[in-house]
Each structure stands twice: as C-alpha cells, then as structure tokens.
Amino acid sequence: MRILGLSCFYHDAAACLIEDGRIVAAVTEEAFSRKKHDSGFPKEAIRYVLAESGLNLSRDGMRGVDAVVFYDKPFRKFDRSIRSHVDRFPSGLGAFVRRLPSVINHELRLGKLLKDEVDYGGPLLYSEHHLSHAASAFFCSGWDEAGVLTVDGVGEWATSSWGAGRQNSLVLEGETRFPHSLGLLYSAFTYYLGFKINSAEYKVMGLAPYGQPNYVDAIRKMVHVKDDGSFRLDMQYFDFDAGENMFTRAFEQVMGQPARPLERPNQEVELTQFHKDVARSLQEVVDDTMVRLATHVVRTTGLPRLCLAGGVALNCVANGEILRRAPVDDVFVQPSAGDAGGAMGAALWAWNGLLKKPRLPRLPSVYLGPAYDDDAVQAVLDEAGARYVRLDREALLARTVELLAESKVVGWFHGRFEWGPRALGHRSILGDPRDPEMRDIINRKIKMREGFRPFAPVVLEERVSDWFQLDRPSPYMLLVAPVNPERPALPATTHVDGSARIQTISRDQDALYYDLVAQFGARTGVPVLINTSMNVRGEPMVCSPLDGWRCFMRTGMDALVIGSFVLLKEEQPAVVLKSAADEFGLD
C-alpha cells in the first residue's frame, strides 16, 4: 500500500512516499527547481518519490498510489484568514484582497491540481498542520510512548500544540492559537534585524552569542509567558494578524531603535552591538519559553521522553536548553522539523494514526532523496570538460583525508540527498576544524555569507562526549552543547560563546562518511571535521551532480569529491575555468 504525503503553498513544498509503512523517499521541491524554499505544487518531488517505488509518473501516472494526504486543512486556514481580517476590519483590507487569490487558486483547489498536474483522482485526505508535525516526530522516534510538542508560526489556527503519543495513538491535548505565536515573534524580530522571514531565522540564532541579554525586559513587554509556557503576544506591537507588516511603530519604540533595513544581495547593512544584543535577548526569551513548555508537557503527560517538531524545533540552541534544564530523559527532533516535514507526518498519520498499522522503528535513515551513480556523475564531468581521477574506496578516503589535513576545503558529494535543511554528509563542504582561518575562508570564499555565521562539527558518535559536553547522539545536527575545554581547540567550529552545533556520525548511519571522519582522526588525533551544506548564499543545497559541479566551479572550494571522482580546482583546464568565470560573473 502506497501513501503519498504532501506539503506546499506556504513554504518548503515537499513529497514523501511510504509503502507498507516503510519510508521509501522524501524530498523538497527546491531540490529540483533550485528555488530556495519553493512553495509551489511539488510535481518534481512527486515524480522522484514515485520513481523510488518503481513508478513512472509519465507512464504509470498515480495509479499505484492508494491515497494522497495533505499536511493541513486549507478550509480551516481560510477560515482563520477571514476571521482575522474581519476582526481587524477595515485595517488590513488591502492585504486580504491581495492574499485571497493565492488562497483560492492553490490551497482550496488541491484536488484539481492533483488531477491536472499528475492525473490523480483517488482518495484525498487532509490531516491538520500541527498533527502532521506531531506525527512526523512521534511516529519517527521509535519510542512506544512520548510527550509531543510542536511550535511554529501558524498552521490553521494553532501556533503550538502538545500532547502524547502511545503506540499508534497520537492525541494533541492543548494548543496556543493565532495570533499568539512564538514562531511569528521570532520572525518579527528576524525582520526587525534586517533578515528575510521564513529564510533567515537561523541567522538570528547565529548572531545571538555575540550579544548580551540587555533587551529581555523590553521583549517581555510584548510577549507574556506563564510558568507552564503558555504565552500571549500584546498585539498592539504586531501587525501580522491582518496587515502586511510584522510589527507596528510601537514595537520599534519599545526596542528603542528603528528596524535595520532589509538586506539585499551585495548590499549588506552594518550589524551593530545593538542588533547582536537584541538577537541574544530574543534567544533568551525563546529558550525560557521552550523549556517551560517542555516541562509542562512532561509533567502533564507523565512521559519523560519528548518529541519536537515545527519550525521552532530547528532552533538547536533551545533544544539543547531543553535537554539541560527541563525534566526530560531524552529528546527526538524530526530532522525536517519545518513545513516540509509535514509531508512525512501526513503520510505517517494516515498509516499509523488512521489505519492503525504497525509502527516503524526510529527513522532508519535521513538520506531519502535522489542518488546518482558514477556513470551519471562522469557524464556531467565529461560534458563540462573537467579533469578528474577515479579512485577506489580506500584510495578515495586516503586522498580526501590528505586534502583536509592540508587545510583544503573539500566538497563531499555521495549517496542519497539529505531530508531536512541540514547537510549531513552527503551534500557537504568539509574542512579542518583545527585551522583558525578556516571559518573565515569558507564563509567568505565559498559560502559567500556573513562572517558571524558558525559552522558545525561532525564527530564520531562514540567520541562525542570526549570533545563536547553532550552525553548522547545528535545525528541530525539539532543540538547545541559546550565544547570540552580540556580538549585541543577547535577554532573553526567553536562559536564565540564556546558552543557548537553538533552532528554525530555512526557506522550504521553512513559507513563511508564515518570512515572519513575516523581516518582524519587517526591522522590528526581529532575525530572531528567541519561540516556545512554545499551551496552558496541564497541557493538551496546542491542535489544533482550538475549542481555540485556548478557550486564547485563558482566558489573557492579547493577540491570536489563526487562519487568515485576527485577533482582539484588547480588542475581544471583554463578554458573550463574561464567558462565558469563567464557563467557566474567571477573575476
């Protein structure tokens, strides 16, 4: 039995296919469209996940799919939109009129889109937004029972929810309703600090350690949090419920300065100490609220294990604070915690929650997207006129370790594309964490992004507590913990506050990636590498070999290890380098 889960129309459209309860494939539409956070109908994602199950969309259509499940209820979302604007009438009328066609043409016409785009006319089910989030976490956790907490911007009406999962039963017992939203509070401050909403919230998280919590009291004037974590926004400071702005003039008056202008490509605006202090203060408020919410869930349900999902669950700093400060035994965070993950949650909700079919063990792999064999890779390289060497497994590992130990920046491309927004070793840029200049080199010459942004370390799972103050695996790079001060310095992956966003790797997860880190450790004494996503600023993570080649050629990467092939930038023919320079406008 095949069930297709979909999320789309807001941001991060995705498709997930499960077959007899097994997750066959899951991928975002942006992987194919190359449009970051693509929200459109995920036709190419659907085409791919069907192919992984042996179906060809062009030939077989959707005849092999037994049900399609959408991740929320569009009519309920439409109801919220109408009611919010009626409550604020006539304020925001223009915004409502402009938004209405999008709602009608997309969210309320999903059935027609399925028929027109992929020739599907079978059963169409609708989950609920936060139920999809909750299902994506609990049904992937591998736990027989656990508390569940979901926190994001907004679904239909809910902005956060909590409940309990037991075997195939998942019940949400409480929620916070729009417009009171921790996610939208964070987005409002993201915009206030000059960053793009639904895209750059992680920049605020990365900026926070450079500041001091001098504006916590000011923020608490705008959001009131109770001991149980329930919260309310004072809406005199916000305008997102009916207008087109995130906040009002009163918001700026409380903060004491006008908003920083929104960043434009190649037009960065200075980040002052004030902005860093605001980011730190916001993080303090979010940390405290999430810890209170987690504590309430554990105490109310009596379940010491906690599953997290929703966009706010991607705030790995808050996740680490929950582990340290809330009465939890363990935490599972869905690796694709945002809206894309709702596609997986919707499919699992139907399989486990509705049909009461047997549970899966813990999410067996995060590598659920497209893979490309050596023939496909070689065809791209030959077409481009690239120079490369082809090596067997052991020679490939030895050569890559040699390059990394020489402080070369290496693109590492192999296997299936990662599920979620983090590069987890299949579409990664790797470097030596011991090199104090490596962070600036990668930020400036490869990622082309702000210098304050930190990089994550990947460490052998069995050595994580030797190098970091963390006593458990962190396979999805969703926990922050202090660096062990007794170990040699890791300047390239240690943030200014002495912390790191950690990925652990085990042999069961990925033997090749594990052996690379292990052999680097054997050579240097440090079983840790820098791991960041293979992309440049403003673009999605690379997916195909052509994406990888283009990223390699347009950046300062020294080497690309793709499939069984190793390419050095310095060995590429002059005509190829000139062609890349012309294509990407490089000097």
Strand 305-309, strand 479-482: pairing: unpaired
Tokens 């919707």 sit at which residue? 346
pLDDT value of residue 305: 98
Q: In 127-184, where do the E strands start and end?
A: 145-151, 158-166, 169-177
Mean pLDDT on 403-407: 97
The sheet carrying 124-126 orders its strands as 22-28, 14-19, 2-7, 67-70, 124-126
pLDDT single digits (tens) 95-134:
666 666 665 666 568 898 999 999 999 999 999 999 999 9
β-bridge mates for residue 457, sequence order: 530
pLDDT value of residue 102: 63
Distance CA 264, CA 271 (A): 14
pLDDT value of residue 587: 64
pLDDT value of residue 87: 60
Residue 85 has pLDDT above 60, yes or no: no
pLDDT value of residue 364: 86
Residue 390 has pLDDT above 90, yes or no: yes
pLDDT single digits (tens) 231-285:
999 999 999 877 678 999 999 999 999 999 998 766 667 899 999 999 999 999 9
Mean pLDDT on 305-320: 97
Provide the 10 A C-beta neighbour count for residue 397: 18
Residue 89 has pLDDT above 70, yes or no: no
CA 121 to chain centre: 32
pLDDT single digits (tens) 143-180:
999 999 999 999 999 999 999 999 999 999 999 999 99
- pLDDT band at residue 74 using 50, 70 and 90 as cut-offs: confident
pLDDT value of residue 71: 97
Residue 86 has pLDDT above 60, yes or no: no
pTM score, whole prediction = 0.94
Angle between helices 273-301 and 316-325 (to 10 degrees): 50
Nearest CA to 537 out of 424, 380, 429 is that of 429
pLDDT single digits (tens) 1-45:
999 999 999 889 999 999 999 999 999 999 999 999 999 999 999
**Using CB atoms within 10 A of its CB, is residue 507 exposed (0-12), middle (13-18) or buried (19+)?**
middle
CA 385 to chain centre: 34
pLDDT value of residue 360: 82
Mean pLDDT lowest among 255-264, 294-303, 442-451, 529-538:
442-451
Share of the chain above pLDDT 90, in %: 83
| Distances 519 to 393, 476, 525, 532 between C-alpha atoms, Å | 13, 22, 9, 19
pLDDT single digits (tens) 422-448:
999 999 999 999 999 999 999 888 887
Mean pLDDT on 554-581: 92
Distance CA 402, CA 441 (A): 19
pLDDT value of residue 78: 64
Q: Quick check: bond before 90 cis, omega within 30?
A: yes
Share of the chain above pLDDT 70, in %: 93
Q: Provide the residue ranges of all domains of the chain, joining segments of one domain with +.
A: 2-71+73-126+339-354, 158-164+174-333, 374-584
Tokens 């590498």 sit at which residue? 529
Task: Examine domains 2-71+73-126+339-354 and 374-584 and report if their fold is the same.
Answer: no
pLDDT value of residue 18: 97
Residue 189 has pLDDT above 90, yes or no: yes
Classified by CATH at the fold level, domain 158-164+174-333 comes out as Nucleotidyltransferase; domain 5 (3.30.420)
| Distances 501 to 264, 298, 476 between C-alpha atoms, Å | 27, 25, 10
Mean pLDDT on 499-527: 97
Residue 166 neighbours by CB under 8 Å, 6+ apart: 144, 145
> Looking at the domain that runs over 2-71+73-126+339-354, which CATH code has it been given?
3.30.420.40
Residue 470 neighbours by CB under 8 Å, 6+ apart: 464, 479, 481, 502
Name the class of domain 374-584: alpha beta
